[in-house]
Chains A and B, each alone.
Chain A
């Protein structure tokens, strides 16, 4: 996990939709047609908190994620970036 990911300002891909479910949420990417199940309600809150302004660490604090769990959340977000569901704020502003 890149240490600096916690300092990144992140946002959801414009092609991503989130649907709350009792177990967490469905995340669907309309571009890749990829369906992902978010298996914790807290992860849904973190995803919703990715507003492009706050750093990831600030979002994790706001969502009251215990710091012991930050590594697994960061790893999760990193993989969601790899699959195009989460983007960096710079990408949002840059890709017009």
Chain B
């Protein structure tokens, strides 16, 4: 059944043709959320009546255990809203599937924090998109800064080690990176910076909120100075085109080593690609997750050789490999051309094209007042390549990723 596979290649070449199971995956447990963040990747707000039941979620976890997926990034929506969330968390870690979950912090009470502190194999990632309440709450809503800081306080007081402070870098907060680092340090936590994606409701705010070209350069310099002390989920590999590679595995793993399961069991190529164009199948209707992962047409296509297209002649192509597939798709750029935040400026004319059309969203669980307005455009059809650059601790016969598998996804 498997395609002929080249042997003896580099690790990246092995990743390009896909692994037998994802290294890790993102699982959005619910579209329900108590917040309405302007840049929500999954356009969350209201629960979907088709969301997987507790038993169906347990079946997914059983499958992940059998496939030896060591680690799952759980998000939403706000996953802690699900009444069975804490049960499922327990079920996963008891079945050798480690969990990192993302939360806005509202429900991380002192009691929950104490429970989390004594539970192995669980990581907590608290979202914070401003180092001050004014910057944060403008994006995430009133009271969200206080709630996130309260959650971090509760975790620190309970002795929870190494929580993550997860920041989406925007035009409005990029000047606060040192302040974010201090907030993390003050809570014995680790700072995690990720890229603003034009996915979900993010499509509607991306033009105004993505860092300017000058800010991107400042961010790049800051990340180089921070090195391994700050996590990035490999978000910023498009910045490698400035020169030096950033820490981590500079790789787009969509459909090859990572994917996303949404609340109704749909499987997408990556956490930033919740759209019909990147839908591989459903865990309930298409033979289960393992079958979707191994045999779906979409994932097979993503694992076949890709073209760099217009980027191939660029001097930086080997560093950035054309950037992020999802960022291109949701800004209406061709998938075999430059990233919308190409640091060489090669996407500026395409972004300025008055005929550019961003794709219409294929799902939206926003509350009615919060719907993103998107325009129709024909879907481009080719995925980007991966970066060949990998940094690793040196052990002979091995490659080591500190902090991975998180390093292979943006969540």
Chain A contact residues, CB within 8 Å of chain B: 17, 19-23, 26-28, 30-31, 33-40, 43, 72-73, 75-76, 79-80, 83
Contacts and interface: CB of A to CB of B under 8 A. Distances in A.
Given A19-B68, A21-B14, A83-B393, 15 more contacts: A22-B7, A26-B23, A28-B71, A30-B70, A34-B400, A34-B403, A35-B23, A35-B400, A36-B398, A37-B11, A38-B397, A39-B397, A43-B397, A73-B397, A76-B396
In the A-B complex, the 9 residue pairs with the smallest Cβ-Cβ separation, listed nearest first, are A28-B70, A19-B68, A79-B395, A35-B404, A37-B399, A23-B14, A76-B396, A36-B400, A35-B401
A17 B68 contact: yes
Given A19-B21, A21-B19, A72 B396 contact: yes
B121 interface: yes
Contacts of A28: 70-71, 405
B271 to A, nearest CB: 18
B5 A39 contact: no
Contacts of A43: 397-398
Interface residues of B, number: 31
Interface in B21-38: 21, 23
A39 B123 contact: no
Interface of B: 5, 7, 9, 11, 14, 19-21, 23, 68, 70-71, 96, 98, 120-121, 123, 393-406
Contacts of B20: 20-22
B22 to A, nearest CB: 11
A43 B396 CA distance: 10
B65 to A, nearest CB: 10
Contacts of B402: 34
A31 B71 CA distance: 12
A76 B398 contact: yes
24 contacts: A19-B70, A20-B20, A21-B20, A22-B5, A23-B9, A23-B14, A26-B68, A28-B71, A30-B70, A30-B98, A30-B120, A30-B121, A34-B401, A34-B404, A35-B404, A37-B400, A39-B398, A40-B397, A43-B397, A75-B396, A76-B397, A79-B396, A79-B398, A80-B395
Contacts of A37: 11, 398-401
Given A76-B397, A79-B396, A33 B21 contact: no
Given A17-B68, A19-B21, A21-B20, A33 B403 contact: yes
A72 B14 CA distance: 23
A35 B14 contact: no
A27 B404 CA distance: 11
Nearest to A75: B396
Contacts of A39: 11, 397-399
Contacts of B23: 26, 35
A31 B98 CA distance: 10
A27 B70 CA distance: 9
Contacts of A83: 393, 395, 400
B108 to A, nearest CB: 20
Contacts of B405: 28, 35
B123 to A, nearest CB: 7
A17 B21 CA distance: 14
Contacts of A27: 398
Contacts of A76: 395-398
Nearest to B5: A22
A19 B67 CA distance: 9
Nearest to B20: A21
Contacts of B70: 17, 19, 26, 28, 30, 35
A19 B70 CA distance: 9
A76 B120 CA distance: 28
A21 B404 CA distance: 17
A83 B14 CA distance: 24
A72 B217 CA distance: 41
A59 B23 CA distance: 28
Contacts of B399: 36-37, 39
Contact of A36 (B5, B19, B395): B395
A66 to B, nearest CB: 14
Nearest to A71: B396
Contacts of B121: 30
A40 to B, nearest CB: 6
Contacts of A21: 14, 19-20
A23 B396 contact: no
Given A35-B23, A76-B398, A22 B14 contact: yes
